[in-house]
Amino acid sequence: MAMGRGGPMGHGQRPSMRAALVVFKYPIYRQLWISSAFAFTGMQMLMVARALLAWELTHSFTAIGTISLAFGLPMLAFSLVGGAVADRVDKRNLTLVTNTLIGLLAVVTAVMVAMGTMTFEILFVVGLLQGTLSALGMPARTPLMAEVVGPENMMSAIAMSNTAMNGTRLFGPALAGVIAGAWGLEWAYAAQAVAYVLATLTMLTVPSGLGAEARANRAPSNVLTEIGGGLSYVMKNSTLRLLMGMMFITTFFAMPYVMLMAGFVQRDLGQSEEAFGWLQSISGIGALAGSLAIATVTSFDRKPLLQWISGILGGGGLVLMAVLSGPFGFGGAIAATLVLGLFLTAYQTLNSTMIMDAAEPQYYGRVMSINMLTFSAMPIMAAPLGIVADHIGASTLFILQGSMVVGFLILVGLLNPKYTFGRQAPRVFEGGMPAPLPGRPSTAGGGYAGVSARRP
């Protein structure tokens, strides 16, 4: 049977969690996964604390959208730079630096909130700095986790990385909401800083120099040239073009709902800050279920169809948010949130794994930075959508957003029926088997070529 990057490809292959969990046999991957879990916890807490602080300062959907814009603009401006840098430098060290600086920003914010000196303008500047650091650091994280397990386990590595992110959604938002409600927003930011400190300390146990041989073999070029090379590579690859476009659909029209929920929960549903945190955590239950489900089907050859169906159901979840929260209040919002978490996460996880599967290793950082560029649309779109929500109401806006997602995905299916409804051809490596690349782990020994996976 032919081998693809996700393992054996077969029409009747059953979902397998055991196959997905094989990546944890690599010690370095385990350390990276734990570090990511701490960082993702901090990120989830940041999203809640930032939205609550913006609402506390202004009581305006527009203001929440503007603060989200502050985070999204630098991601738009610097994501491609971050991808080019990630392909040139030590990804572990780049992640260390950015994690540390984001944690320091959380400390500064906590102190200013406690002293009563935080203003909307300062929060906007902090958002710009956080967005810049995320844009420079995040393109390194996923490729690093994929590199240390070898190409045959790459898709499982990405899927399990997503379970770390979505698993933290179970408690990160609720923790931030509970802390903010009980002790104040300054303590929510302090807790976020602790999460980033733990992420940094865990990353220190990962050896530096991973992928050094591959970087040494790269032809010398400047950052702008490499950015251009990455863009050209994606534009010439029809699969990557389509996948990037499909990610834009949800980040433009679906995911910005997250940024508006702080105001929706408190103004429209009459709930508290803690309720907003709990609702975000409930979304994490669906998200974790979605990412775990996708982790078991990384070798399935009809992933485009799974993604398409998940996207349509995710768009339907937004409509449900408006429809169910009217007569059923917070209980209806909970049901819709579970649907949104499950299907939008499945959609995004499938997209990320298929993007990495379609890309060549030397382009991993740049391809992921372009993928990250699509995520900048989420906070950027929150600003104009916040203005719309102030005028027509959040519920009406959710119906419009969900309808647009469903409409665009139906159009994608009609224009690309062979890709959407057909079967994926397996990617075959030289000799029919995935072979370790320079700077990749040996599948036989479970170690890292040139660096011991057991090295502290």
What is the rounded CA–CA span in Å between residue 319 and residue 389? 15
* Cα dihedral sign, 384-387-391-392: positive
CB within 8 A of 377, min separation 6: which ones? 72, 76, 248, 251, 252
Q: Which residues, in sequence order, are bridge partners of residue 448?
A: 441, 451
- Helix or strand holding residue 379 (H, E): helix 377-392
Mean pLDDT by 10 residues, the chain (456 residues): 40 59 86 91 86 85 80 80 78 89 94 92 92 84 77 76 74 80 90 93 84 55 78 89 90 82 84 78 80 76 91 94 90 91 87 83 78 72 82 91 95 93 64 38 36 35
- pTM, whole model, 2 decimals? 0.69
Domain limits, the chain: 20-210+226-424
Cβ atoms < 10 Å from Cβ of 239: 16
The strand pairing partners of 8, in sequence order, are 3
Superfamily of domain 20-210+226-424: MFS general substrate transporter like domains (1.20.1250.20)
pLDDT of residue 13: 54
pLDDT at position 101? 94
For residues 109 and 167, the answer to whether their CB atoms sit within 8 Å is no
Number of neighbouring beta carbons within 10 Å of residue 355: 24
Residue reference for tokens 């630098």: 74
Dist CA 159 CA 137 (whole Å): 19
